[in-house]
Amino acid sequence: MIETEGWHRTAQVEFPIVFVAWLLLMPLTPVDNLEAESAEREYVWTLNFGPQHPATHTTLRLVLTLDGERVLNAVPYIGYLHSGFEKLGEHLDFNQYVTIVDRMNYLSPLANEIAWHHAVEKLLNIELTPRCKYLRTILAELMRMHDHLLNLGTTALDLGGFTAFLYFFQQREHIYDIVEMASGQRFHTSYTRVGGVLFDVNTDWVNRVRKFIKEFPKVYDDVDRLLTKNRIFVDRTKGIGYLSPEDAINLGACGPVARASGIQRDLRRDEPYLAYEDLDFDVVCSKGGDCYSRYLVRMRELLESLKIIEQAIENIPSGPVNIAVDSDMVLPAKPSVYRSIEGLIQHFEVIMPNKGYEVPREQVYAATESPNGELGFFIVGNAETRAYRARTRPPSYLHFSMFPHLIKNHQLSDVVAVLGSINIIAAELDR
Amino acid sequence: MVELSVLQQKFGTELVESSFRDNRRVDVPAAKLFDLLSSLKSDHGFDMLIDLTAVDYLEYEGATDRFGVLYMLLNVTSGERLIVRTAVNMPDPKLPTVYSLWRSCDWLEREVFDMFGIVFEGHPDLRRILMPEEFTSFPLRKDYPLKGRGERHNFPVITRAGS
């Protein structure tokens, strides 16, 4: 465990005149008894934040009750992007649904695919090949970086720092290229399949990842220097949106949000899946519980992810990337489908709805550590190659439900800081 | 690890344990659900409600109950997981809320209500969450068609002149 506490000690060296003036002008209201007090006030007003607002990034709406600039209450309204993903999951087979799963957390599409097929493979009792495990691990960690890069960048952007956003976005572009090289798609890759992935990767891809590993720390340092000790950034995030460890557990926080509150929980370490058992990494935690701690945890996780990728890419095993074709569950390679009758028949057997393989009439819950936290899928099998029920446990959903708790009694301008720090992805929220 | 025999002593032999892969599950009748959950939280350290969801068994072969409701619990300290399952039936599917135990159930219960129409009695704010307020069906029930029942076509059209 790494403690991020104490990094910011040097941050507030001197007080600018503006800050002192603001302190003097700040109304000296006692913090206790706020609610009883506010009910009597007649000048409490309501502000509608969203559904279309640059700082919400996606479509979500907040109705804020304000006393001046202080937020007394916030009521989130969601569902603007609801498109019935879980219903669709009951009508598409295990391979088809991956295209829908992609579109949940669109900042890290591959992480969703890996989580979905992780659950499917647990239901079908498939043990992946070592190469596939390593490949998926590398991609999952690249996706974690992908997600954190955008989240950290836009958090800074919302708080007025444009440069960090551009620096990080350029790095995301390299990850897009790596993913495109593997899967043929930049964004919604639909790369994983039951028992493996769509295509294997080659040496060029490995070199590309190596190049990225080599170049990334420089940009990281730049952004670290831009933000971590930046007084404006620290002032806007430190002490804002405090989440105590007890509340974090009770409200169902997971991932970086929980770890920033001091909950030492990471599924990669606690319930190892894929190749995480063989790899050496630290679980980043902080005791702060505020927006700044969440920022620090995410920043350090970038480096931990890089460490994991570095180990995995050098130790990626050779051998097949898919499980054996005679298991009847995996799609055969395309050349064999086009050039041999056995391959064609196998392809048909897997694809056709009235054929397919044996699925146990059972139910299973399996979770992975997605960039945002525990992303779980609960699947009920009913002897068909599609799920009878495909439930997603979206981390954003639980994180957004604690938003009113986090924002209470903060300033209106802190809304964007808190929103950024819990990384709400509305497509995952609404499904 | 919480032993089934310990729970059975307290809540009777209706509790059935099963497991599949690494999932451990306990089935409990709806009447004893709340007592079991609150005992699991206070005595056995299951301090986190990871997920709360439901399944409609209408078309499931051999199913006797209409809905299954699942509570996925986690003990943060030991990392132990347990799934508590219960069943509710039409025409009046309802369960007690667990809001007093885990506040994370707030939106999860609202979603189950929205999608399946299962009422959680005592929930502080049980409204639809993903579907619009005026929606009348419960979309994740198996008797609701994938393409809907034409609700979208019947939305009132707001024109510039009329608004």
* pLDDT number for residue A14: 44
User: Cβ neighbours of residue A5 under 8 Å, at least 6 residues apart?
Assistant: A286, A287, A288
Question: Helix, strand, coil % (nearest 5) of chain B?
Answer: 25, 25, 50
Per the structure, the count of domains in chain B is: 1
Mean pLDDT, residues A176-192: 89
Contact between chains at A87 and B130 (C-beta distance less than 8 A)? no
Decide if B159 is inside a domain: no
* pLDDT number for residue B8: 82
Contact between chains at A380 and B55 (C-beta distance less than 8 A)? yes
Q: Which pair of structure tokens corresponds to residue A131?
A: 């190469």
Decide if A245 is inside a domain: yes
Decide if B51 is inside a domain: yes
Size of interface A-B (CB pairs under 8 A): 95
Measured between beta carbons, which residues in chain A are less than 8 angstroms from residue B22? 122
Mean pLDDT taken over chain A: 84
Question: Helix, strand, coil % (nearest 5) of chain A?
Answer: 50, 15, 35
Decide if B162 is inside a domain: no
Closest to A63 measured CA to CA, from A86, A82, A80, A46: A46
Q: What percent of chain A has pLDDT over 90?
A: 27
In angstroms, what separates the C-alpha of A330 from chain B's closest C-alpha? 21
Mean pLDDT, residues A242-260: 90
User: A163, exposed or middle or buried, with CB in 10 Å at 0-12, 13-18, 19+?
Assistant: middle
* pLDDT number for residue A23: 46
What's the pLDDT band for A2 if we cut at 50, 70, 90?
low
Of A92-106, A210-224, A341-355, which gets the smallest average pLDDT?
Answer: A341-355
ipTM: 0.91
Of A21-25, A32-36, A78-82, B18-22, which gets the smallest average pLDDT?
Answer: A21-25
Closest to B120 measured CA to CA, from B133, B132, B130, B111: B111
Decide if A272 is inside a domain: yes
* pLDDT number for residue A28: 44
Which amino acid, B101?
L
- Domain of residue B47, CATH code: 3.30.460.80
What's the pLDDT band for A143 if we cut at 50, 70, 90?
very high
pLDDT digits (tens, 9 = 90+) for A206-227: 999 999 999 999 999 998 988 8
List, for chain B, all residue ranges whose pLDDT scores fall below the cut of 50: none
Domain that holds residue B12: 4-154
* pLDDT number for residue B97: 92
Domain that holds residue A121: 85-125+128-322+360-430
Per the structure, the count of domains in chain A is: 1
| Separation of alpha carbons A3 and A231, rounded Å | 21
Tell me which residue in B56, B76, B146 faces A91 most closely, judged by beta carbons.
B146
Decide if B163 is inside a domain: no
Decide if A22 is inside a domain: no
- Domain of residue A383, CATH code: 1.10.645.10
pLDDT at A18 > cutoff 90: no
Most B-contacting residue of A60, A87, A375 (CB-CB within 10 A), to test interface: A87
Decide if A59 is inside a domain: no
Decide if A4 is inside a domain: no
Q: Which pair of structure tokens corresponds to residue A7?
A: 């990094």
Mean pLDDT taken over chain B: 88
Which residue in A has a C-alpha nearest to residue B79's C-alpha? A270
* pLDDT number for residue A134: 92
Mean pLDDT, residues A1-16: 48
In angstroms, what separates the C-alpha of B53 from chain A's closest C-alpha? 8
* pLDDT number for residue A343: 85
In angstroms, what separates the C-alpha of B22 from chain A's closest C-alpha? 9
| Separation of alpha carbons B152 and B163, rounded Å | 20
- φ, ψ dihedrals at A63, nearest 5°: -105, 110
Decide if A18 is inside a domain: no
* pLDDT number for residue B15: 85
Mean pLDDT, residues A160-174: 88
* pLDDT number for residue A41: 62
